[in-house]
Structure formats: structure tokens, C-alpha cells
Chains A and B, each alone.
Chain A
């Protein structure tokens, strides 16, 4: 397609109407030529000879009559070695590079290469002349940080090809030809290490999609033990403001047991992204001993950056995530917050004067949410290796009310729901995941029987608590009161976790299993106390000992001695109580 031209006929904030000749494509990228600036835009609706475009920059200063240049391409990202540890805006411009060139503020109408075009990579070929390949087949690899970055047949090549030539081991940049493929019709195609892919189209260069079964350990106890996530699964974290959604995501991005983490900071506070991007390079990944940044990519479109680019940013993030999944890696995409993304759609929809659905969200909101989460999954690649993409999105419901369209649309499609509650946050119970409302459809790595028992105690404890609010403590019998104490104990020492303590912030699966089994014996244990005061004192003292235990490093001598103290206390407690009963 040749480059088409058009002319602006109307401007309403970031939406412009353009009159064009000849042919243009839905979702085609276009540029508004305003003086020296070229503002990137995307076609979102076509009506006769007029197109509606959303502009990815602030439109201040553009005029009716300004020229628009259509590019003939859909909105795409560059894929190739050099993506890891990068910090991009929603359109894959590197923020540090922009800062270097333009200083404190983000310039309008600037496009940079996402991947360093000059850097050389040590390429090792794996394919040989004569090999039959298709999209996604591995041709070779280059080392990228701690990973072997696989160089694959570009995903847009949708036929079967024969390898005509592969370059030998050596240093190449991303624009140099590393292989030549020949199609069945005899057409020769040059392959480089970098290619482009349209962000709104899922990458499907794999053999088949599988059922997610393996647990993804986040090291957050309440999630892993009670409401687990699976590799390749999806989950959502809705919660009112101040409930700790972002902190939960940040902790997950540090400790989650995956190869690559992609953080899509979508329409949220810039300050939070700054924390991630300044701290991650300094933190070490316990799995590799290298900097955490080496396994992280940040796509950052904060709330004050242009709205249309916010809409694009989650797609940019999922495309890069899918790309790394194709290399047989486990990828985790954290989107914070999907509500801001939905709101960006709402803003555009309003300016298109579409008929509004509930709360003025467009009618296609649910299907867009569904297709975003559907990009997750465990896939079997052509060479038999497995890769996974897990997606976790936060939702910021208006007024903290989960009945609103974005939360409801999300709940329909995800595999686990971690609902945060204001009451728990107000009482400083963190993570504020509500154990009574949340659920997960994924399999647990801890025995179901134990988990169900714990959930039952929590539920009964809540019932007793409610009842006590009506009949008072004196109207509650000791048996019920014990259930209440057990439930509060479980909550206080296991479900709550201090995210700012080095040890307590991350509990490994092994430790969770071990500690949870001990707690289960306490939950099952029959106690006989003289009265409620004695029961309360006993459980408060026990809680104290467990909290100290939580702060001690796993498998250390102190860990064992503290455990002994707990065991002794449980033993003596029993003796003491029986003795008192006998009197």
C-alpha cells in the first residue's frame, strides 16, 4: 500500500476526523503533520470518505486543514533481542532515551527505535540449510542477559519454508541478514533478528494451547495457599483505592517464580513506576543472583500521559510477553490498572458518539476485556517445548463497588479472583485480600483437605464474629468463641504478611507447606479452657510466637529453636489447662 494523504476536518480533544482519498485500513497508523511535529494516530472508525483517528499525543495547537499521512501499517511493536530491562512508554519509545534527548518532559510527536539498531549480538545458528521451518521455528539464539534469546522465523510468514542459508556463529546487529528462507513457490525471503508485529493481533505461532495446571508461586501466603494462580492462567485484583493493589503487584513482580515479568503500568501514578524502575536494578533476583531488572520489562503509560497511548499500552505489553513465551519461557504480565485502560476506551467511545452502555462504557467493553485475558495461556511450541503467559490485572472499581462493568466483565473471564477489601486495609491487615470473597479455579499445591478446613474455620469465625456483634461476647459460648479465636489466629499469623520485611515478605512454597501443616494441627486441636479470658490469653501469646517465627529465616537454627518454643508452649498449654480443669 502506498502512503495515503488526508486532511483534518474536525478536532475534539484527542479524536480527530480526517477526509481521505483512496484506501485506508482499520487500525492503520497515521501521522498528523503539525509544523515540525508528527503526531502518531490510529484509525478507529471509517465512514465513507471520513476516518476517525485517535491521536496518541496531546492535540494542542493542531488545526483544521492540517495534513495527515497514512502509513499503511497497523500499530506494531519491534520484536528482537534487547527488549529486556527496557522501560518503554505505551508505544514502545524508551523513556530513558527520551530523557537523554529531551530532558525533563515528554516531547510530542517523537518516535524512537525500541531496539538498539547498532548493538551487536553473538548469534549461534541452530537451523541448517535444507531444514523445513514455519513461523516461530528457531533459527538460532543470542545471549540476552541471563537468557538464550531465540531467533525465530518471523511470525507473519505464514507458509512453510526451506532454509536456504544460515549465517555462521558471529556478531551481527538486528538489521543484518542472518538467514534466507525459500517458500514453496520459490520466493526467497531474507530474515533478520528483528521484526515487527501488530499489537492488537495475538501471536499464535505455536502448536497448541494447553490447560494451565502448574502452580505459580508468588510467595504471598494468602494467594498461594488459599487462592492459587497457575502458570498460564489469569487472575484479577479488584479493590478500592488505598487497599494495596499496587503494592501487591509490586511484591508479586519481585518474588514471583517466573522467568520474565512484564509490568504494564497503565494510567496509574508515575511515582509508583519510578519506585520500580529505580529499585529493581539494585535488587537481586534470588533465583539467578542477577539484578531483578534483567528479567523485567516496564511498559509505562502513567495517568498524565496521553490517553490513547494508554489504550495501546496493554496491547504492547501483551505482544512482547507473547514473544518471550514463544521462546519456551514462563512470562508474567502484570497490568495495573485495567480500569484505566477501560476508561481510555470509554473516553474514545464517547468522542465517537457511540451509544453508551452501562456507566457510559462502550458495548464492546466485555469482549475487549475477554480477548485481552485470552492472550494468556500455556502453549506447546513446535519443537515440543512449553511456554506460558500468566496475566494478572488490577481493577479499580468506582466507589469500590464490584458490581460495576469492568469488574464484572473481568470476573467472567479470569481463573482467580483476589478481591481486596477496604475494611481489612483500614484495619491494616495486609495483604487486604478478602478470604471470604475471593476464589480460584486453579489447583493447589497444598492438600485440598487442609485448605478447605482453613477456609471453613475462617467462615465460621466470621459468623461467630457477626453473632457476637449482636449477642455480645458474654452471650457466646466458649466453643464458638474458640472458633473465632482460631480464625483470628490464622488470619493474623498466616494470611497477613509484612510486605516490607525482608523475610516475611516472601514465603517460599516449601515453607508455606511446612508452616501451614503446623497451623492445621492447631486448628484441628481440641482445647479446653477455663474461660474466654484464658482462651484469649493463650491464643494471643501463641500469635506472638508465630509472628516472631515469621520473621526468622527459613531453615536457620533460630527457625528451629523458635519452632521448639511453639511446640513446648502448645504442650504446656495443654497440661496447664488440664490441670486447671481437674481442680
Chain B
């Protein structure tokens, strides 16, 4: 029994209001307008009034248009036939292929029970020393890439996607530029990964509300694959666009804004998505990498700030390099104890020295005389940036650790570093 309304009472922003009874919270409806039809979702119920956010936007919606309630919340089809396919932000095919209607699943399902999770223990090797050595990526981790427009974050995302050993890749694009979308498609195709990839793409040209659904669609499908025992890598770009869509709806609904116009539940909203990253006991896993562009390169902006509190670390991409300061993988301690016994020591020791190099560089730029120690640090910093930080470097972890010791020995005596005598004896290269 589907309910129909033919009178729209209010239209504000992308939210329309109708009068209807017996409608469930978050139920889906279809609005037929002159331009075609669009899905809409119930976002508030007040007495007999029903507020709906219209995915295609309220532009051109007439007060006389028909609203058909579908009697169920948002769903997405799930099938292995989806591999290699491209869908829109409302789950419709974008690639002229058939719609996937069998086996529909609800999106934004309940949270996983923490006691059914396992402690993540598999390192995802990327062959990027700044990740593998200093901030190892771990299966089931959720990690954002903090960046600003113009940085090669798409390239980084694509490179990790191609090199990571996973069964299925899901790409959720929110507010993607068309050429970004083509870049991902072509790169994954050339790398031979297209047949294990599913795209949910909302481009900048699509209505903004449609972008809101992308993370939920992507993650609902990912979750099904993970329950089926698959290792899934979810790439989301750009989550700042997602947060901005949330803000727009919140303001339209006259919610009290908390910080720079963003709603007070921004944290919970982002967390509900990121927390889908999981390693299920006795099944598969979901790893999430999400680009978050920082407006004005400001990490204290509410979107990167809330994200940082939710995710298990972050990669800062700046000047085409992954910054050693600020970048962090919280889960690295779970995997870097099992790689090589000097891994942790090299990781901490090299960064501490690089921090000192940065201070010295500051002094130099202010014109101070450089002491012998300063000169050593300057040499070290140069080598470090060239052989470790450059994103072009593509070497396995063990090679990168060896290079680390070589750089250290090139620049310092063992006692000038922080390494334990035991490690120095074993790893310090003899000249």
C-alpha cells in the first residue's frame, strides 16, 4: 500500500514539506516533476507534516507535483555483477548497463558489535617509505588524506589502490570533477583493476543532496562483500564535500549550527561512516582511505578536525609529499613489531632527527652561523627528503629500512643518535 500526496506545502532549499500520515522516519519517496522524477528521503516528522530532502534538488519542483511514498528506506542492489560497473549517487547505473535490482540491501545499517571485531594485524604494503616505514597502513584501518586542492591526492589514492593486495575496491566519489572521475577510471583500467572495482560517483554537476548518499551506498555494498569474506578497500573522495552537503541540509532545516555553520552532529555523522571500517571475526574486512581537503589548508577547520578525532591517524599530503609531522597511523604499532626488529627504532629515530633538521633549517634561513652539528643535520635532512619522502620512491619496506641506516651512518656517529646500543651493533653500517 503506497501513499501518494499531490500537494506540496513548503519548498525551502532542497527540502519539501507535505502532509501525510503513517510515514516512517527515513522512508523513501519519489517525486515526479516536469523534469523527471527524483528520490527523496524523510528527514523530519512533525505531527502530520513530513519533511523530505530531494536528491535531485528542489529546483523546478511545483507545489502540485506528486509525492509517492515507497514504504521502505533507501536501498541498494547487491550482486557480484556490480564489479566493473559505475553507479550514480542514488544508486542508478551511470554506464548504460542494467540496473541492479535483485537482492536489495538497506543502507546505513546498524553498527558492528565491537566484540565481533578482531585486532587488525595485516600490514597493507604500499612500497611508499613514508607509509610503510613511518606510518604503516593496516588492513581495516580508516585513514583520511588531508590535503588541499592541487595536491596529487587522486594519484596517491590510485597508486595505493593498485598496489594494495585486496579483493575488491569500491570508489565513492562525492562532488568529483569529471576529469578526476575519468582519471580514476582510466588508471584502474590500465592497472588491470577495473574488473574488481565498483564506482559510486557523484560529480560536481549532480545535485548536492545526491552526494550525501554516496558514502552510505558504498559502505553498505562493501559491508556485504566483507561479510562474504572479502578484503575490501573503500576509497572516498572528497569527504569535505559530503560534510558541506550535510551543512546545507542542516541550515535549511534551521538547526542550530555549532561551528562555522556545521551541524552539532557532524562528528556522529562522519563517525557513522568511518566506523564501518572493520575486520570481522571469521569474515572479511573493510579498509577506508578518504580524501579530506582542508579549506584554506587549515587543519582546525571543523571537517578535518572532527575527522582526525574519528579516524585512526591521517596522512598529510603537502607539496607533493607525505609530511612526516602530523601524519600518523595509529595502528602501526600492531604490525611494525612483526616486520623487522629495527623498524620501530628507525621510525622514531629518523623522525626525531628530521625534526631537529627542521629547526636548524629555520635557524639557517634566519642567517645564523651553522655549527658542525647543524651541518650534519642539514646533510641528513637533504638525504632524508630525497630518499625517503619523495613520492617517486617505490621500494619495499626492508630496502627502505636499509637505506635509513645508510643515511644515518652517512651523517652521524652512533652516539649522536638515540638508538639502543644493541641495535647499533647489529644494523649500523661499517665503513
Contacts and interface: CB of A to CB of B under 8 A. Distances in A.
A107 to B, nearest CB: 7
Interface string A176-211: 000000000000000000000000000000000000
A292 interface: no
A143 interface: no
B418 A305 contact: no
Among A59, A360, A475, chain B packs the most CB atoms within 10 A around the CB of: A360
Nearest 6 CB-CB pairings of A with B? A399-B300, A472-B368, A304-B275, A303-B271, A241-B308, A360-B258
Interface in B11-54: 21-27, 44-48
Interface string A461-495: 00000000100111100000000000000001000
Interface stretch (B55-63, B190-198, B369-377): B369-377
Among B73, B276, B421, chain A packs the most CB atoms within 10 A around the CB of: B421
A206 B45 CA distance: 48
Among B22, B26, B140, B366, chain A packs the most CB atoms within 10 A around the CB of: B26
B314 A242 contact: yes
A200 B294 CA distance: 40
Given A61-B25, A356-B256, A359-B259, A271 B120 contact: yes
Given A343-B267, A472-B368, A275 B112 contact: no
Contacts of B337: 500
A365 interface: no
A398 B307 CA distance: 11
B46 A307 contact: no
Contacts of B99: none
B368 A12 contact: no
Interface stretch (B90-98, B158-166, B174-182, B324-332): B324-332
A340 B267 contact: yes
A11 B44 CA distance: 6
Interface of B: 21-27, 44-48, 73, 108-120, 140, 227, 255-259, 263-265, 267-268, 271-272, 275-276, 278, 280, 283, 299-302, 305-306, 308-310, 312-314, 325-326, 328, 330-331, 333-334, 337, 344, 348, 351-352, 355, 359, 362-363, 366, 368-369, 371-374, 415-416, 418, 420-421
A548 interface: yes
B327 to A, nearest CB: 9
Chain A interface size, under 10 / 10 to 19 / 20 to 34 / 35 or more: 35 or more
Nearest to B356: A427
Nearest to A475: B368
A350 B255 contact: yes
A401 to B, nearest CB: 7
Given A10-B45, A98-B113, A532-B371, 11 more contacts: A10-B46, A11-B45, A13-B265, A63-B24, A64-B23, A65-B21, A104-B113, A241-B309, A302-B114, A401-B300, A541-B415
A98 B115 CA distance: 9
Contacts of B334: 275
Contacts of A60: 24-26, 73, 108
A418 to B, nearest CB: 18
B21 A305 contact: no
A274 B47 contact: no
A147 interface: no
B268 A95 contact: no
Given A62-B24, A242-B314, A270-B275, A99 B326 contact: no
Contact of B113 (A12, A95, A350, A359): A95
A368 interface: no
Contacts of B21: 64-65
Interface in A305-358: 305, 307, 340, 343, 346-347, 350, 353, 356
Contacts of A551: 420
Given A10-B46, A356-B256, A278 B25 contact: no
A104 B286 CA distance: 14
Contact of B272 (A304, A427, A428, A469): A304
A304 B119 contact: no
B22 A63 contact: yes
A98 B116 CA distance: 10
Interface string A375-413: 000000000000000000000101111000000000000
A396 B256 CA distance: 21
A547 B109 contact: no
A429 to B, nearest CB: 8
A399 B305 contact: yes
B268 A347 contact: yes
Contact of B418 (A300, A533, A541, A547): A547
Interface in A99-124: 99, 102-108
A553 interface: no
Contact of A104 (B267, B280, B310, B328): B280
B314 A275 contact: no
26 contacts: A9-B46, A10-B44, A11-B45, A60-B108, A99-B113, A102-B113, A103-B113, A104-B112, A104-B116, A106-B110, A277-B114, A303-B267, A303-B275, A304-B272, A307-B268, A343-B265, A347-B265, A350-B263, A398-B305, A399-B301, A401-B300, A426-B325, A469-B359, A500-B344, A544-B415, A544-B421
Interface in A106-154: 106-108
Given A474-B369, A532-B371, A360 B418 contact: no
Nearest to B22: A63
B418 A242 contact: no
A286 interface: no
Contact of B268 (A275, A303, A401, A500): A303
A269 B312 contact: yes
A65 B22 CA distance: 7
Contacts of B117: 270-271, 274
Interface string A519-541: 00000000000001100110011
B101 to A, nearest CB: 22
B373 A269 contact: no
B119 A426 contact: no
A533 B373 contact: yes
Contacts of B26: 59-61
Contacts of B421: 544, 548
Contacts of A532: 371
Contacts of B46: 9-12
B331 A271 contact: yes
A96 interface: yes
Interface in A425-482: 426-428, 469, 472-475
A279 interface: yes
A87 interface: yes
A474 B263 CA distance: 52
Contacts of A474: 368-369, 371
Nearest to A346: B264
A122 B46 CA distance: 55
Nearest to A10: B46
Nearest to A62: B25
A302 B111 contact: yes
Contacts of A346: 258, 264
Among B24, B109, B328, chain A packs the most CB atoms within 10 A around the CB of: B24
A279 B258 CA distance: 38
Nearest to A536: B373
Given A300-B114, A401-B300, A473-B368, A12 B24 contact: no
Contact of B45 (A64, A267, A473): A64
Nearest to A107: B110
Contacts of A99: 113, 115-116
B119 A59 contact: no
A246 B147 CA distance: 25
Contacts of B265: 13, 307, 343, 347, 350
A63 B265 CA distance: 22
A497 to B, nearest CB: 13
B423 to A, nearest CB: 11
A305 B112 CA distance: 9
B113 A547 contact: no
A468 B129 CA distance: 33
A287 to B, nearest CB: 25
